[in-house]
Every structure is written in C-alpha cells, then in structure tokens.
Homo-oligomer: A and B are copies of this chain.
Amino acid sequence: MRVLSKATVYGLRALVYMASERERTGYVSIGEIAEKLNISFHFLTKTFQTLTQHGILESYRGPNGGVALTKPAEQLFLTDIVHVLEGADFFDKCLLGLPGCGVEAPCPVHDFWKEAKRAMKEEFDITSLAELGEKVSDERFRLVA
C-alpha cells in the first residue's frame, strides 16, 4: 500500500524536520537536512526546488543560505504539500482506477473508497507541519530509521 511516492515521503520528512526546529531563525541548508534525515542530498534538492517553485519554501543561496518555510508551520497542511508533490488529483485516484468516475457510474468499491478518501483528506486538511514538528521535537516521535 504505497500511498506516497518516495519524493513526497522525503519532502515531507524534511519539512517536518524544519518545523521541528522552530526556535531556529534564518535558513536551513538542504545539506544539513539530508544528513540528519539520512536521505539523498541531490534527490531532496530536486523535491525542494519543486516546493520552492510552488510557494511552500523560499530559498537563498550562498553561505548561511538554505531554505525556509514561506508561512508559519501552523498554516502549512499536509494537503498543501501533497497537492504540490503528488498533483491536484491526489484525492481523486481510486482503488480500481477507472477514468471519469462519479456517482452516475461508480465501480463496485466506490462506497467504501469514497469514505476512506474523505477521511484521509480530512486528516490531511487539518494536520499541519507545526503539529507534526512538535511531536518530533517533544522526542516522542522520530523521523529517521
């Protein structure tokens, strides 16, 4: 049950790490994040470029440069991230993957799946990077293996 691509998983972990370092001011370098979370620097860089291009992050080059959230972590929700990294149709995809679905022509798992998607979307809508970052900085949860 792969729900998110690796690119999204790495991006999310990295964003939560940033949110968990809330006391820090200024930019966080991608190199530091990649090292701390033990993920590929170059791969993460590409994902972060996408996030920068879509207004989730702002970047700054040079010494003491790096990336920073464009908004307080309280105002960035999982839905926003997934929207950028997985596409706007993320919550429209389906178990049986038939194109052009709707109430008039459902597949046989529609009733269940519709509800499952609704629950997941609701959770993603209300879960902020701040909330996840707090859990991590409280030491109760982890981001690395």
Interface residues of A (CB under 8 A from B): 1-4, 6, 9, 12-13, 16, 86, 90-91, 93, 95-100, 105-110, 112, 116-117, 119-120, 123, 127, 131-133, 135-136, 141-145
Q: B136 and A108: CB pair below 8 A?
A: yes
The 8 Å CB contact of A135, one of B108, B119, B123, is: B108
Closest CB pairs A-B (n = 10) = A108-B132, A108-B135, A108-B141, A1-B93, A99-B145, A9-B97, A112-B123, A1-B90, A105-B142, A98-B145
Chain B's nearest CB lies how many Å from the CB of A124? 9
Contacting pair B16 A108 (CB below 8 A): yes
Give every chain B residue within 8 A of A96 (Cβ-Cβ).
Answer: 9, 12-13, 143
